[in-house]
Structure 1
Amino acid sequence: MEDSSASAPLWVGRFEQPMDAAAWALNASLDVDRRLALEDVRVNQAWAEALHEAGVLSAAERDAIVAGLGTIAHEFQTGTFVFRASDEDIHTAVERRLRELVGPLGGKIATGRSRNDLVATDFRLWLLGQLPHLEENLIQVQMALLTQAEASGDIYLPGYTHLQRAQPVLLAHWWLSFFWMLERDRQRLGDLYPRVAVMPMGAGALAGAGFPIDREKLAQRLGFLAVSQNSLDAVADRDFAAEFLFVAAMLGVHLSQLAEMVVLFSSQEFAFLELPDRFATGSSLMPQKKNPDLFELTRAKAGILLGHLTALMTVLKGLPLAYNKDLQEDKGQVFAAMDTLLAVLPVLAAALRAINVNAEHMQAAVTDELMATDLADYLVKQGLPFREAHAVVGRVVREALALGRPITDLSEQALQAIHPLLTRSALAILDPVQSLARRNLSGGSGPQAVEAQLQAARVVLNQRRVPILRENVRSIRTSETSIGL
C-alpha cells in the first residue's frame, strides 16, 4: 500500500528547497531495502532498550517506543503498513510511522545513532537470518547426490580428462565428487557467519555514539557474536556482503559444473542419464525433443552470480572512508544472489533425485584402452621404469588403433614385437573391475575406498556449519510476501 501524503525527510533542516523529484527517485532505496523491515524494527527495539540503560529514555518512554515498534512489526507482518511517497528508505519509513504512533517521543529513537550504522546492522542481521535457510537447501542437494551414490552399487563409467575417456571410476565416486564440492561451499558459509555476526550499531555516522551505550550487551541482545572495533570501519565495511557473494558465486560455479555434466550425459550421444519428464521441457517446433532446460538455467545462473560479485567489488573499489552513498548499491546484489540460490537449489535437489541411470551404456563405454595405465603399472612391477613402461604401452595402443581392434585382440607375436615382457596373459589386467579394485587407497575410486567415502559423507551431513540465529531475533520474522515484497 502507498500513500501520496508527504512528510519531511530526516535531513530537511539544513535545506531551503525540496529535492528535485527525479533526484529524489534516484536517491531513494525503499524498493530494495524494504526487505529489511522486520530487522529494522528489531534493531530499533533493541536500541530503545540500550538508550534506556544509558539513561536517555525513561522506562515509560522505552515501553511506549517498543510498543509502537511492535505495532509497526504487526503492520509489516499483516501487509497493512502504509508507505508514503516521502519514505526515502525503510529506516525513514519506520521512524516516520513511529512518530505517527507515539508522537514526538518517536524522534528520540534516533538519539546517538545514524542510518549509517543502522542500515549496516539491519543488513547483517538479515543475512544472518538467511544463511541457515541457504544451508538447509544446499544440504538437500548434497542429500540427493548421496542418494544417487548409494544407489549406484558397483556401476562404473569412464572418467574424463579434457573431455576424453581416461580411466574407469565407480558411478558413486562420480556423484560424490560433486558432493564434496558443495561441502566446501557449505564450510565457506559457516566460515562466513562469524564475520557477518559483528555488530556495527553504536558506530553512529562514523565517530561512535555520544552516549554510554553498552554495545556488548546490545550485540548479545540482537544475536551478534561481537561488536565492531572501529567506528570508521564499521559503517564502511561491506566485506561480509562481498564475501557472501563470492561464496554464492563459487557455489554457482559448482552447480554449473554439475549441471553441465547432466546436460552432457543426458544427451543421445552419451545416453548415460535420462531426465524424467517432470524435470525436462520440449520443443515448440520439434516433437521429438526432450530438453534439459532446468540444468541449462542452473548453468546460466553461475554467470548471474558472478555478475553480482563483480558489481559489488567494483562499487567498493577506491571508496574513501567512511560511509558513502555508493554503499546503497550493496543490498540489491546480495538479495538477488540469495533469491537466485534459493530458487535453484530446491529444484536441482528434486531433479537430481529423479534422474535415471543407464548402467549398460555407461559400462559399455569403458573399453580396454581405459586400463592402459594398469598395463603400464604391470610392467613397472616387472622392473621397467614407469616412463619406459608408459612408452611401451603407448606403442601397444597405437598398434591396436592401426589395426582397428581392441588391445585384447592383439596377438602374442605382436605384443612380443613391442616388448618381451608383454604376453597375452598380461592383457588379463585390462579389466575395469580389477582396475577399480586396485584403487582402494583413501579417496580413491575403488569399492572399499568409495564405501568409506559414503560413510564420511553421511557423517558430514549431520554437522551444521551455519549457526541458527537466536530465536528472540527470529521471532518477528515472517514471510516476506506479507510485507509486499
Structure 2
Amino acid sequence: MNLWGGRFTKPTNQLVYDFNASIKFDKTFAGQDIKGSIGHVKMLTKQEILTQEEGQLIEKTLKEILNEVENETLEIDESFEDIHSFVESTLIDRIGDTGKKLHTGRSRNDQVALDMRLYTKDQIEMLNTLLIDLLKTIHEIMKEHVDTIMPGFTHLQKAQPITLAHHMGAYFEMFKRDQSRLHDIYERMDYCPLGSGALAGTTYPLDREYSADILGFKGPCLNSIDGVSDRDYLIELLSAMSTMMMHMSRLSEEMIIWNTNEYQFIDLDDTFSTGSSIMPQKKNPDICELIRGKTGRVYGALMGFLTTMKGLPLAYNKDMQEDKEMYFDALNTTKGCLQLLSDMLKSTTFNKDKMKKSATGGFTNATDAADYLVNKGVPFRDAHGIIGQLVLYAISQNKDLDELSLEEFKNISDVFEDDVYQAIDVNTCVNKRNTIGACGQEMMKKVIALNEEYLKQF
C-alpha cells in the first residue's frame, strides 16, 4: 500500500517502485517508528484532535504491533514501500478507518526524521557503553603495568624509555575524547522534528513541546524546514565513528607490530588469532588487521554521505534516503570493532621482559645522557653534540651506552663520572620524569587515580 496516489492515474512502474522503496533497510528502525507514532497519538489525543476512544484504540493497537515486532512474531512485509506504510497498513487492517487517522498532522518527512533521531540516540548510548568498556579495559592494563618498561617510538625508531601504562594512557585519552564527542553530538541533536510536517508545519493545533517531552527530547526543532532536512547529526556521528576507528586502527597496528617475531612484546590469545592453511607455525593477528581494514569502510560512509548532502536545496529531497544503508553499516562495523578490541585486549599477554630488554637497547637513554651533562654545567647544545659523538662511537663498537667503560666516556668528555651509569639506567630515565603527563611512576599513579574518578561516573 502507498501512502500517496490520489493524483496518479497509472500504477508505478515496478522497477521504479523497487528502486524507490526503502523498507529493506529502514525496517531497522521499526521499533522507533512505532514508538514515534505512539507519542504522536498521545499528543493528538491530548489536543482533542482525536477522541479519547480513538486515541486509546490506536495506541493500544500500536503497542501490540510493537510487541509483535520486537518478539519477531510479526513478519515485516517487504512488499511495502517503507516501514511507515507497513506499520500504518497493519494498524488499519486491525482497527479499520480509525487507523487512518494516525497520520493526522504529520508527514513522512518529519516521521522519518524523527525515526532516525530516535534510532541515533539509542545507537549513541550503545556506542558509549562499548567505549566505556574499552576505557575500563585500558585502565586495568595501565594499573597493572605502571612499572613495565618499554621503548617509546618516533618514526618507528626507539626514542626514549617509557612504561606500558604510559603508552596505553595515550589511547585512554584518545577514547576519552571519542566519548566526549558522542556526548556533544547527543546534546546537539536532542530536539524533536515531529510536527514539522512536510516542511512548513501544520494547521492542526499540535503541542510540539509535549510530543518532544514524551519522546525524550529536550524540546522541538525551532525551524520546520531544518527539522525535516537536517542530517548534520548523522555526519557528526559518522565523523566521530571515523575518528574512533582511526584510534582503534592505530592501536591495532601497534599490536600487529608488537606481535611479530622481531618484537615479541605481546602474545595474542588463541581465541583472537587465526592460522594459515599452508604454514602450520603461523598465528596471525587477523582481528587487528580487520579492524585496521574496516576503518576505511567507515571513512567511506562518511565521505559518501557528505557527498550526498553537499548540493541539496531545502527542504527534503529523496537523496536523503541514502542516509541509511551506509550509516547502518558504519554503526555495526564500529560497534563490532569496539567490542572485539576490548575483549582481545583483556586476553592479551604483555611480555614484560621482552619490552624492558628492547628499551635498554637502541640508545633510548641518549637524551638522559645529554641531561646528565647539562646538570654538570654543559650547555644543552654542546651536550647534544657530545652525546651524538658518543652514540657514533658506541655504534662502531657494537655497544649500548651503558656498556661503555668510564674511560670510553671520558675519551669523549672528561665531564663524565661514575654516576653517569645511574643517570642513564632505564629505570632512572623513566622514573625521574615526574611532571604531570609524563611516564614517571608517581605521575602515572596520579593520572590513573584521575582516570579512576572519571570512570566512576559511568
Per the alignment, residue 56 of structure 1 pairs with 49
In 2, the alpha carbon distance for the partners of 1:126 and 1:105 equals 27
Is residue 2:106 matched to residue 1:113?
yes
Is residue 2:412 matched to residue 1:418?
yes
User: In the TM superposition, what is the alpha-carbon distance from 1:386 to its structure 2 partner?
Assistant: 1.8
Pair 1:401–1:84, CA change in 2 (3 A): closer
User: In the TM superposition, what is the alpha-carbon distance from 1:11 to its structure 2 partner?
Assistant: 1.3
Query: Are 1:372 and 1:393, in contact at CA under 8 Å, matched by a contact in 2?
Result: yes
In 1, the alpha carbon distance for the partners of 2:135 and 2:321 equals 35
Query: Are 1:415 and 1:424, in contact at CA under 8 Å, matched by a contact in 2?
Result: no
In 1, the alpha carbon distance for the partners of 2:75 and 2:406 equals 89
2:5 maps to amino acid: V
Per the alignment, residue 480 of structure 1 pairs with none
Is residue 2:428 matched to residue 1:431?
no
Is residue 2:436 matched to residue 1:461?
no
In 2, the alpha carbon distance for the partners of 1:411 and 1:41 equals 79
2:432 maps to amino acid: R
- For residue 15 of structure 1, the aligned residue among 8, 25, 30 is 8
Per the alignment, residue 176 of structure 1 pairs with 169
User: In the TM superposition, what is the alpha-carbon distance from 1:376 to its structure 2 partner?
Assistant: 1.1
Per the alignment, residue 371 of structure 2 pairs with 377
- For residue 27 of structure 2, the aligned residue among 34, 37, 57 is 34
Per the alignment, residue 394 of structure 2 pairs with 400
Per the alignment, residue 479 of structure 1 pairs with none
User: In the TM superposition, what is the alpha-carbon distance from 1:334 to its structure 2 partner?
Assistant: 2.2
1:110 maps to amino acid: H
Normalization by structure 1: what TM-score?
0.91
In 2, the alpha carbon distance for the partners of 1:409 and 1:204 equals 78
In 2, the alpha carbon distance for the partners of 1:132 and 1:344 equals 16
2:344 maps to amino acid: A
Query: Are 1:54 and 1:211, in contact at CA under 8 Å, matched by a contact in 2?
Result: no
User: In the TM superposition, what is the alpha-carbon distance from 1:78 to its structure 2 partner?
Assistant: 2.8
User: In the TM superposition, what is the alpha-carbon distance from 1:82 to its structure 2 partner?
Assistant: 4.4
Q: List per-residue Cα deviations over 1:52-97 (Å, max 9, x = no partner).
A: 2233111111111112212221221232334446511001111111
- For residue 269 of structure 1, the aligned residue among 259, 262, 268 is 262
In 2, the alpha carbon distance for the partners of 1:69 and 1:170 equals 57
Per the alignment, residue 481 of structure 1 pairs with none
Per the alignment, residue 336 of structure 2 pairs with 343
In 2, the alpha carbon distance for the partners of 1:182 and 1:208 equals 40
User: In the TM superposition, what is the alpha-carbon distance from 1:258 to its structure 2 partner?
Assistant: 0.8
- For residue 224 of structure 1, the aligned residue among 214, 217, 220 is 217
Q: Secondary structure, in 3 states, of the residue corresponding to 2:102? A: helix
- For residue 250 of structure 1, the aligned residue among 224, 243, 246 is 243
User: In the TM superposition, what is the alpha-carbon distance from 1:359 to its structure 2 partner?
Assistant: 1.3
User: In the TM superposition, what is the alpha-carbon distance from 1:333 to its structure 2 partner?
Assistant: 2.2
How high is the sequence identity, in percent, across the aligned residues? Answer: 38
Query: Are 1:116 and 1:204, in contact at CA under 8 Å, matched by a contact in 2?
Result: yes
Per the alignment, residue 206 of structure 1 pairs with 199
Q: List per-residue Cα deviations over 1:384-404 (Å, max 9, x = no partner).
A: 332222122111111111222
User: In the TM superposition, what is the alpha-carbon distance from 1:409 to its structure 2 partner?
Assistant: 4.0
Pair 1:79–1:410, CA change in 2 (3 A): closer
Is residue 2:443 matched to residue 1:449?
yes
**Farther off after superposition, 330-339 or 264-273:** 330-339
In 2, the alpha carbon distance for the partners of 1:355 and 1:221 equals 45
2:183 maps to amino acid: G
Pair 1:132–1:399, CA change in 2 (3 A): same
Pair 1:429–1:52, CA change in 2 (3 A): same
User: In the TM superposition, what is the alpha-carbon distance from 1:417 to its structure 2 partner?
Assistant: 4.2
Per the alignment, residue 361 of structure 1 pairs with 354
Q: Secondary structure, in 3 states, of the residue corresponding to 1:131? A: helix
In 2, the alpha carbon distance for the partners of 1:81 and 1:402 equals 77
Normalization by structure 2: what TM-score?
0.96
Is residue 2:382 matched to residue 1:388?
yes
User: In the TM superposition, what is the alpha-carbon distance from 1:422 to its structure 2 partner?
Assistant: 3.2
Q: List per-residue Cα deviations over 1:30-67 (Å, max 9, x = no partner).
A: 01110111111111111112122233111111111112
Q: Secondary structure, in 3 states, of the residue corresponding to 1:366? A: helix
Q: Secondary structure, in 3 states, of the residue corresponding to 1:52? A: helix
Q: Secondary structure, in 3 states, of the residue corresponding to 2:203? A: coil
User: In the TM superposition, what is the alpha-carbon distance from 1:163 to its structure 2 partner?
Assistant: 0.3
How many residues are aligned here?
457
In 2, the alpha carbon distance for the partners of 1:84 and 1:435 equals 67
- For residue 133 of structure 2, the aligned residue among 140, 160, 178 is 140
1:459 maps to amino acid: E
In 2, the alpha carbon distance for the partners of 1:427 and 1:85 equals 75
Per the alignment, residue 309 of structure 1 pairs with 302
In 2, the alpha carbon distance for the partners of 1:332 and 1:153 equals 44
User: In the TM superposition, what is the alpha-carbon distance from 1:164 to its structure 2 partner?
Assistant: 0.1
Query: Are 1:266 and 1:272, in contact at CA under 8 Å, matched by a contact in 2?
Result: yes
In 1, the alpha carbon distance for the partners of 2:164 and 2:88 equals 58
Query: Are 2:422 and 2:428, in contact at CA under 8 Å, matched by a contact in 1?
Result: no
> Could you say what the CA RMSD is over the residues aligned between the two structures, in angstroms?
1.6
Query: Are 1:260 and 1:296, in contact at CA under 8 Å, matched by a contact in 2?
Result: yes
In 2, the alpha carbon distance for the partners of 1:387 and 1:165 equals 22
Q: Secondary structure, in 3 states, of the residue corresponding to 2:263? A: coil
Structure 2 stretches of 5 or more lacking a match?
A: none
In 1, the alpha carbon distance for the partners of 2:347 and 2:248 equals 17
Query: Are 1:38 and 1:76, in contact at CA under 8 Å, matched by a contact in 2?
Result: yes
In 1, the alpha carbon distance for the partners of 2:398 and 2:433 equals 30
Per the alignment, residue 323 of structure 2 pairs with 330
Structure 1 stretches of 5 or more lacking a match?
A: 1-6, 465-485
User: In the TM superposition, what is the alpha-carbon distance from 1:276 to its structure 2 partner?
Assistant: 1.5
In 2, the alpha carbon distance for the partners of 1:355 and 1:37 equals 39
User: In the TM superposition, what is the alpha-carbon distance from 1:357 to its structure 2 partner?
Assistant: 1.6
The one of the two structures with greater contact order (alpha-carbon pairs below 8 A, sep at least 6) is: 1
